[in-house]
Amino acid sequence: MQTSVKTKTLTMIQAITNGLDTMLEQDANVVLMGEDIGVNGGVFRATDGLQVKHGEERVMDTPLSEAGFVGAAIGMAINGYKPVIEIQFLGFIYPAYEQIMTHASRLRARTMGHFHAPIVIRAPYGAGVRAPEIHSDSTEALFTHMPGIKVICPSNPYDAKGLLIASIEDPDPVLFLEPMRCYRSTKQEVPDEKYVVNIGEGKVCREGEDVTIIAWGAMVPIALAAAKALANEEVSCEVIDLRTLYPIDRDIIAQSVQKTGRTVIVHEAHATTSVGNDVLAIINDTSFLFQKAPVQRVTGFDVPVPYFGFEDDYLPTTNRIVHAVQKVMNY
């Protein structure tokens, strides 16, 4: 007998709210912490209404001190809670960097498995919404460098809810990057019930034969738009959404680039010392002899993300991706 799954049409930010609400209902150890997340519902309203529904002891406003409330969350996690922290913007996370890299990420190894730090740190990130300085950083590579903390980056509402629930249930710390550009740009059918999307598994968003385009976060819709444009030139592009940046899905990268023989990596972070460079290393390690052309990268530039008047000149665009694909096709 078939059973139907009840769904709602949600934006990404609504799917995140739905995921938080689901876990607050199902797990009494889950608590939310952050600046202005209670009465105001957070800067992007991800926690709107949750304090009224679940109470001030489970949805807590914190002082303006990222190092303070991340440190407090680590202590709560050691004592059985599952804190979900909201950082208002990824660019504001740096005061808590020491807590994350020195304590949260090392706790399991430091205690030889006796203690874990099951915390989730949610952080809106990326450019494209005309935000001021420091609000648009895409510095995921600062965190993927440290073993012990997982780094997640969904690109659509369905994955956002499923990956967020998987992150809350994970015994280790997770940095959950939310692309602001995707918060309200699209809607998708999302199951109302609890479900998980497995951490560490990428997804083929579009199958193709000629070129692999690898992206994550807000760059996935741009990559798909480029693939659609290139289809008019009879170039068949396969688009991979990595979804998890650490641990990265090496298998899906190898399988796709060995099939197509040509690769373009797309991300909005700075080019130097980036996750894209790690993807390039994986291709060299697993698939070098399959390549028909040098791998191309389409990235942000090695400058701070500029003020919004120049933002479009900084970000990867459909045209830049199309040009890179034409370059590997004509090599």
Query: 2-60 pLDDT, tens per residue?
Result: 568 899 999 999 999 999 999 999 999 999 999 999 999 999 999 999 999 999 999 99
Token pair for 25: 């209902």
Q: Could you give the C-alpha distances from 6 to 23, 58, 137, in angstroms and in order? A: 17, 27, 36
Per-residue DSSP letter, 261:
S
How much is the average pLDDT of 84-93?
96
The Cα 329–Cα 327 span in angstroms is: 5
**E strand segments, 116-184:** 120-125, 150-152, 174-179
Q: Please, what is the end-to-end C-alpha distance for the chain in angstroms?
A: 54
Q: Return the ∠ at Cα 127 (arms to 213 and 197), rounded to 5°.
A: 55
How much is the average pLDDT of 58-71?
96
Structural domains in the chain, CATH included, are 7-191 (3.40.50.970), 203-330 (3.40.50.920)
pTM of the model: 0.96
Q: Is the pLDDT of residue 265 over 80?
A: yes
Are 117 and 146 in contact, with CB atoms under 8 Å apart?
Answer: no
What one-character-per-residue DSSP string does 230-251 give? HHTTT--EEEEE--EEES--HH
Q: Return the ∠ at Cα 138 (arms to 243 and 326), rounded to 5°.
A: 70
Q: What is the pLDDT of residue 170?
A: 97
Per-residue model confidence as pLDDT tens digits over 113-122: 999 999 999 9
The Cα 239–Cα 19 span in angstroms is: 26
Q: What is the pLDDT of residue 2?
A: 58
Are 89 and 123 in contact, with CB atoms under 8 Å apart?
Answer: yes
Task: Give catalytic residue positions.
Answer: 135
Are 147 and 176 in contact, with CB atoms under 8 Å apart?
Answer: no
Per-residue DSSP letter, 133:
T
The Cα 21–Cα 13 span in angstroms is: 12
Placement of tokens 């000149």 in the chain: 313
Q: Is the pLDDT of residue 141 over 90?
A: yes
Are 45 and 37 in contact, with CB atoms under 8 Å apart?
Answer: no
10 Å CB burial of residue 253 (0-12, 13-18, 19+) is buried
Q: What is the pLDDT of residue 82?
A: 98
Q: What is the pLDDT of residue 131?
A: 87
Q: What is the pLDDT of residue 237?
A: 98
Q: What is the Cα gyration radius of the chain? A: 20
The Cα 220–Cα 287 span in angstroms is: 23
Q: For residue 50, how far is the Cα from the chain centroid?
A: 23
Per-residue model confidence as pLDDT tens digits over 238-251: 999 999 999 999 99
Are 82 and 28 in contact, with CB atoms under 8 Å apart?
Answer: no
